[in-house]
């Protein structure tokens, strides 16, 4: 595909969102922006190439009729949703080479969103979990065959770990894989009702293979959970003898994905069907453990980073919708007057509305930007894992991905709901896209690791660091170096206009460090009179608080650092204010931590509150342009309320008239 690389052409293509017939209110907002939109979009997406690729993929999808929807997807039943998603998924995959989608982290999710929408599909886990599992866990000499079959869709796979009775507690999974040395086979079995696999996407109707997590038994001994490649259906797509499989029924969202259940009845697979890149079972049943206990984390970390990136983009899209709609809402008949007799104003002018919208917009930026850099780190670590090389970064990356997953998915789900509420009654309609966004986002709080469990994994990492610091011989990872710094007695925070980035970082690090050591000391005290697990449980709420604060400190530090790399002065000024709003809003929400022990004085806390209000007023004139900086097309947004032209009310009526109830 020929690519236009002229900066001037790109400038006109991306900056000119203003067209004849647009709502005058939204046009006025765009004309009043203080920064060049194209420059800001290049900063958000790191370079103009990524921005240009977004446009190329959009134009490709819009020009191919096989991606069209004859019937609006909101008005389809579940069978029709699955058929639509499957049809589009196959068309999407068949056109991968034509559009040259090779960027798995940025371009592939955009291509899927433009093609199918927010609904997952029958191949979501095939590409998201099954293929990465083959890549990470298959021996080099054997990887080519299974990977080629999976990549070409000769086999369709899923990842079967969660059970009816066990999810995040991996060590207690009940499905068994018992090695039979006489036949050189593993016997896969579901010993209890609660051991049935439950939730794997694509399992219900689509997948004919699965990467199955099961408790390995060999030579009469348990060796813990291991992965196995298991064929589920025959060439006619019927379940094989010993396999019971089906769909688990409708869910809160993602109903185009056939999540399923799976039960085994002494089902036999060849010995070589165990993923044996790291741990092995020899023909005689001898077990060879992995060289490093954390080697299984590589694929999981990458999947979580992809998930966090997708979740954050949902919050960004929700902020775009709510901000644009707040600029045009009832523009013909405004909602009310601030000063009597001076005329009705835009909803966006109300401070309470700004307080609902702009902190959520601020939350959407640091996560998405940092995920790109962490994705590069993850690829590096995965390469090291594959070569059995340096493993030092793995615990750090695992802890960070777990913490980001827990904090960001929670904030995204809560943020989308707050933004929905800011749109009044129309936010309740599926035409707004908020119901679909929320259903998509809230699931992320539980799948790929339940959030509280994820926070406790981060806390375990932090307690280990605290112990090393107290011992006087710390070997600190990059993200934990601040924990060894000297204690700070008072906060440096002041007026938002005068306090520096270093002041903000100092206060976040000091508060988090104090929280970590207070939790460590309490845990240590409890362990003197309790068993370790009992003490951990008694201290678990504080452990989660420390983990959350650690992740938020990381996000604040990196948001501020990222803003400093912005080369365009006007964009940097606005984004710096947004970054400070993000930090001040976190301080306001966590005031108890900051004011404990008099670290943050009441006067300073009042300055934080006043600073938030002043920053809302400062950002208000650029709010629509900041929403536009996400460069989200109407096809990607899929929202009547957030459409580019702002002509919401005629579009709402047009959407409603497509309802089948209006056809008779």
Q: What is the CATH number of the domain that holds 267?
A: 2.40.110.10
CB 78 within 8 A of CB 250: yes
| Confidence band of 342 (pLDDT split at 50, 70, 90) | low
pLDDT class of 193 with cuts at 50, 70, 90:
very high
Give the Å distances, CA to CA, from 341 to 19, 331, 338, 548.
32, 17, 9, 48
The whole-angstrom separation of Cα 332 and Cα 292 is 65
Structure tokens at 519: 């939790």
pLDDT on residue 345: 79
Are 512 and 437 part of one and the same domain?
yes
Q: What is the mean pLDDT of residues 242-262?
A: 95
Q: Are residues 345 and 424 in the same domain?
A: yes
State yes or no: pLDDT of 11 exceeds 60.
no
Residue 231 domain-assigned?
yes
Spatial contact of 611 and 498, defined as CB atoms under 8 Å apart:
no
Provide CB contacts within 8 A for 240, sequence distance 6+: 231, 232, 233, 234, 267
Arithmetic mean of pLDDT, 309-314: 90
Output the pLDDT for position 332.
43
What are the residues whose beta carbons fall under 8 Å from the beta carbon of 211, sequence distance 6 or more?
129, 130, 133, 134, 137, 157, 158, 159, 160, 227, 228, 229, 230, 275
Q: What are the tens digits of pLDDT across the range 358-376?
A: 999 999 987 655 545 554 5
Q: Is residue 583 part of a domain?
A: yes
| pLDDT tens profile 129-177 | 898 888 888 887 777 777 788 888 889 999 999 999 987 677 889 999 9
DSSP label of 255: T
Residue 410 has a pLDDT of 95
Instruction: Quote the radius of gyration of the chain (alpha carbons, Å).
Output: 26
Exposure on the CB side of residue 438, measured as CA atoms within 13 A:
17
Q: Which of 224-228, 302-306, 464-468 has the lowest mean pLDDT?
A: 302-306
Is 196 assigned a ligand-binding role in the annotation? no
Give me the pLDDT at residue 400, please.
Answer: 86
Q: What pTM did the predictor assign?
A: 0.90
Residue-number span of the structural domain to which 173 is assigned: 155-290
Residue 302 has a pLDDT of 73
Residue 327 shares a structural domain with residue 379: yes
- Can you list the positions of beta strands (E) in 199-340? 209-218, 221-231, 243-247, 260-264, 267-270, 280-281, 287-288
Banded model confidence at residue 12, pLDDT cuts 50, 70, 90 = very low
CB 26 within 8 A of CB 645: yes
Which residue do the tokens 């589009």 mark? 88
Mean pLDDT of the chain: 89
**Do 365 and 465 sit in the same domain of this protein?**
yes
Both tokens assigned to 498:
């005068």
CATH number at residue 547: 1.20.140.10
Do 421 and 454 belong together in one domain? Answer: yes
Q: Give me the pLDDT at residue 297, please.
A: 61
Residue where a domain stops, chosen among 290, 321, 336: 290
Please provide the DSSP assignment of 27-76 as one string: HHHHHT-SS-HHHHHHHHTSSHHHHHHHHHHHHHHHH-GGG--SS-GGG-
Please give the pLDDT value at position 344: 67
pLDDT of residue 383: 55
| 516 and 453 fall within a common domain | yes
Q: Is the pLDDT of residue 247 over 70?
A: yes
Q: Given this model, what pLDDT does residue 576 score?
A: 97
Query: Of 290, 324, 348, which marks where a domain is finished?
Result: 290
- The answer to the question of residue 545 being in a domain is yes
Q: How far is CA 612 from CA 29, 265, 350, 511, 562, in A?
A: 22, 60, 14, 20, 21
306, 360: one domain: yes
Same domain, 330 and 416: yes
pLDDT digits (tens, 9 = 90+) for 594-636: 999 999 999 999 999 999 999 999 999 999 999 999 999 999 9
Q: pLDDT confidence of 526, banded at 50, 70, 90?
A: very high
Compute the average pLDDT of residues 8-32: 76
Give residue 308's pLDDT band: very low, low, confident or very high (50, 70, 90).
confident
Most confident residue range from 126-130, 289-293, 591-595:
591-595
Q: Which residues are catalytic?
A: 448
CA 309, 303, 95 angle in degrees (round to 5)? 80
Are residues 562 and 620 located together in one domain of the fold? yes
Please report whether residue 115 resides in a domain.
Answer: no
Last residue of a domain, one of 242, 274, 290: 290
Confidence of residue 6 (pLDDT cuts 50, 70, 90): very low
Which of these ranges, 46-55, 417-426, 520-529, has the smallest mean pLDDT? 46-55
Share of the chain above pLDDT 70, in %: 90
Name the pLDDT band for 390 (thresholds 50, 70, 90).
Answer: low
Instruction: Return the half-sphere exposure (C-beta side, CA atoms, 13 A cut-off) of residue 258.
Output: 24
Residue 286 lies in a domain: yes
Instruction: Assess whether 285 and 302 both reside in one domain.
Output: no
Q: Is residue 298 pLDDT above 80, yes or no?
A: no
pLDDT of residue 475: 78
Whole-number pLDDT of residue 393: 65
Instruction: Read off the tokens for 421.
Output: 């509420």
What residues contact residue 152 under an 8 Å CB cut-off, 6+ apart?
none
CA–CA separation, 475 and 62 (whole Å): 53
pLDDT over threshold 80, residue 532: yes
Asked which of 136-145, 269-278, 475-484, 643-652 is least confident by mean pLDDT, the reply is 136-145
201 among the known binding-site residues?
yes
Please tell me whether residues 417 and 272 are part of one structural domain. no
In a domain, 347, yes or no: yes
Has residue 638 got a pLDDT over 90?
yes
Report if residue 109 sits inside a domain.
no
Average pLDDT over residues 77-104: 89
Number of domains in the chain: 2
- Which tokens is 76 given? 């389809």
* Domain membership flag for residue 358: yes
Residue 120 pLDDT more than 60?
Answer: yes
Residues 427 and 561 in one domain: yes
Q: Which of 485, 491, 436 shows the shortest CA–CA distance to 254?
A: 436
């Amino acid at each position: 595909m020929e690519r236009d690389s002229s900066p001037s052409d790109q400038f006109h293509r991306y900056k000119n969102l203003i067209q004849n017939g647009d709502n005058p209110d939204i046009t006025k907002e765009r004309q009043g922006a203080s920064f060049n939109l194209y420059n800001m979009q290049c900063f958000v997406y790191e370079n103009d190439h990524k921005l240009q690729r977004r446009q190329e993929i959009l134009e490709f999808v819009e020009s191919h009729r096989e991606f069209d929807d004859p019937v609006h997807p909101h008005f389809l039943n579940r069978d029709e949703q699955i058929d639509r998603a499957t049809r589009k998924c196959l068309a999407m995959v068949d056109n991968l080479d034509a559009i040259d989608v090779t960027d798995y982290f940025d371009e592939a999710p955009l291509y899927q969103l433009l093609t199918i929408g927010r609904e997952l599909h029958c191949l979501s886990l095939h590409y998201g979990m099954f293929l990465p599992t083959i890549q990470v866990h298959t021996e080099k000499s054997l990887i080519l065959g299974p990977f080629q079959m999976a990549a070409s869709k000769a086999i369709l796979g899923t990842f079967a770990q969660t059970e009816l009775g066990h999810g995040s507690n991996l060590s207690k999974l009940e499905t068994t894989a018992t090695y039979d040395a006489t036949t050189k086979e593993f016997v896969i079995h579901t010993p209890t009702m609660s051991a049935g696999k439950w939730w794997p996407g694509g399992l219900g109707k689509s997948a004919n293979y699965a990467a199955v997590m099961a408790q390995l038994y060999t030579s009469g001994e348990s060796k813990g959970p291991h992965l196995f490649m298991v064929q589920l259906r025959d060439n006619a797509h019927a379940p094989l003898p010993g396999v019971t499989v089906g769909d688990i029924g409708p869910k809160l969202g993602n109903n185009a994905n056939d999540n399923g259940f799976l039960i085994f009845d002494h089902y036999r697979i060849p010995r070589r069907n165990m993923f044996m890149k790291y741990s092995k079972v020899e023909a005689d049943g001898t077990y060879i453990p992995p060289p490093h206990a954390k080697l299984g984390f590589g694929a999981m970390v990458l999947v979580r980073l992809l998930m966090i990136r997708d979740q954050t983009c949902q919050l960004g899209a929700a902020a775009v919708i709510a901000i644009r709609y707040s600029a045009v809402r009832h523009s013909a008949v405004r909602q009310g007057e601030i000063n009597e007799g001076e005329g009705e104003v835009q909803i966006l002018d109300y401070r309470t509305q700004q307080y609902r919208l702009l902190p959520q917009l601020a939350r959407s930026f640091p996560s998405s930007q940092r995920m790109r850099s962490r994705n590069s780190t993850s690829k590096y670590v995965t390469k090291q894992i594959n070569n059995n090389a340096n493993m030092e970064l793995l615990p750090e990356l695992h802890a960070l991905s777990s913490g980001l997953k827990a904090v960001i998915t929670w904030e995204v789900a809560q943020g989308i709901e707050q933004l929905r509420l800011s749109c009044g009654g129309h936010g309740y309609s599926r035409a707004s896209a908020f119901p679909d966004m929320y259903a998509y986002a809230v699931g992320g709080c539980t799948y790929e690791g339940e959030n509280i469990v994820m926070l406790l994994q981060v806390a375990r990492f932090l307690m280990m660091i605290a112990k090393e610091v107290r011992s006087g011989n710390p070997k600190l990872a990059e993200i934990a170096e601040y924990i060894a710094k000297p204690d700070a007695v008072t906060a440096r925070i002041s007026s938002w206009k005068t306090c520096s980035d270093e002041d903000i970082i100092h206060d976040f690090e000091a508060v988090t460090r104090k929280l970590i050591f207070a939790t460590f000391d309490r845990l240590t005290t409890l362990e003197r009179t309790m068993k370790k697990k009992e003490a951990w449980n008694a201290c678990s709420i504080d452990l989660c608080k420390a983990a959350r604060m650690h992740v938020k400190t990381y996000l604040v530090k990196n948001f501020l650092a990222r803003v400093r790399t912005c080369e365009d002065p006007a964009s940097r000024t606005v984004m710096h204010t947004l970054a400070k709003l993000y930090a001040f809003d976190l301080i306001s929400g966590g005031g108890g931590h900051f004011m404990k022990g008099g670290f943050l004085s009441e006067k300073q806390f009042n300055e934080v509150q006043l600073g938030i209000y002043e920053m809302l007023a400062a950002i208000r004139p650029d709010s629509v342009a900041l929403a536009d900086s996400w460069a989200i097309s109407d096809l990607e947004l899929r929202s009547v309320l957030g459409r580019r032209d702002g002509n919401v009310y005629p579009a709402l009526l047009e959407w409603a008239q497509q309802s089948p109830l209006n056809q008779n």
